[in-house]
Amino acid sequence: MARYTNAKCKLCRREGKKLYLKGKRCYTAKCPVEKKGAVPPGEPPKRRSRITDYGVRLREKQKLKRTYGVLENQFRRYIREAEKKQKQSEFGVALQQILETRLDNIVRRLGFCWSLNQARQLVRHGHILIDNKRIDIPSYNVRVGQKITLAPTALNLFNVQEALKNFPRENIPSWLLREESYGKIERLPEKEDFGAEFNISLVVEYYSR
């Protein structure tokens, strides 16, 4: 499966905010966004040009994609899926619910590991159980009430042990429940749970142009 393999800290600096792609380092003063500021990587331009309306929409779309680690074709599929769910909730909420309930993202949000890449690796290697069944598909959408458990083999991994002990509990969203080495979705996240981290309307405008 295709995935981004270049320096992840550059993505955060390019988008002007922390995307928490590097794991534990993102929570420390070693984070390049903390040290160098939220400025694009590379040599600064001699002349600063004004970003166009298209550029603003593009950056918002890229920020959303990179935060959840999805590529363009998959992201377009999520857009179409969210459009079908608009009757139940507004488009932006439906889209973020799809992204947030991906298994790799839930494993990260629960604090079973430090980064999305680590979460994806845990899923791929069969270290995650859903209702006591091994699921090795990172894009699997977890449903409300399903129990997410770390397999016994995962409890022997250093990164998992460290995350279970030191991951900041205040960073676990209120719509998730975590008890030791298992957790579950108590309810789907709503608009107030997302805050102002993303401007979904700009993403909609990008794809409707």
Q: Can you say whether residue 42 is alpha, beta or left, with left for phi > 0 and alpha for psi between -120 and 50 degrees?
A: left
* Same-domain check for residues 87 and 148: no
The whole-number pLDDT of residue 104 equals: 96
Structure tokens that stand for 196 in this block: 């102002």
Judged by DSSP in three states, 106 sits in helix
Residue 193: inside a domain: no
52, 202 contact by CB (below 8 A): no
* Same-domain check for residues 111 and 175: yes
Q: Taking 80 as the threshold, does the pLDDT of residue 32 lie above it?
A: no
pLDDT (tens digit, 9 = 90+) per residue, 155-199? 999 999 999 999 988 989 999 999 989 999 999 999 888 876 788
* Same-domain check for residues 162 and 94: no
Q: Taking 90 as the threshold, does the pLDDT of residue 28 lie above it?
A: no
The whole-number pLDDT of residue 204 equals: 84
Question: Between 200-207 and 91-100, two packed helices, what is the crossing angle to 10 degrees?
Answer: 100
169-to-99, 109, 111, 172, 178 alpha-carbon distances in Å: 21, 10, 8, 6, 9
Which of 104, 38, 44, 39 shows the shortest CA–CA distance to 70? Answer: 104
pLDDT, greater one: 180 or 20: 180
27-33's contacts with Cβ under 8 Å and 24+ in sequence apart are 27/114, 27/168, 33/9
Whole-prediction pTM value? 0.78
* Same-domain check for residues 136 and 159: yes
pLDDT (tens digit, 9 = 90+) per residue, 78-122? 999 998 887 656 888 899 999 999 999 999 999 999 989 999 999
pLDDT band per the 50, 70, 90 thresholds, residue 1:
very low
The CA distance from 194 to 197, in Å, is: 7
Q: Taking 50 as the threshold, does the pLDDT of residue 143 lie above it?
A: yes
CATH number of the domain enclosing 147 = 3.10.290.10
The residues that bridge with 128 in the sheet, in sequence order, are 150
Give how many domains the chain has, as a whole number: 2
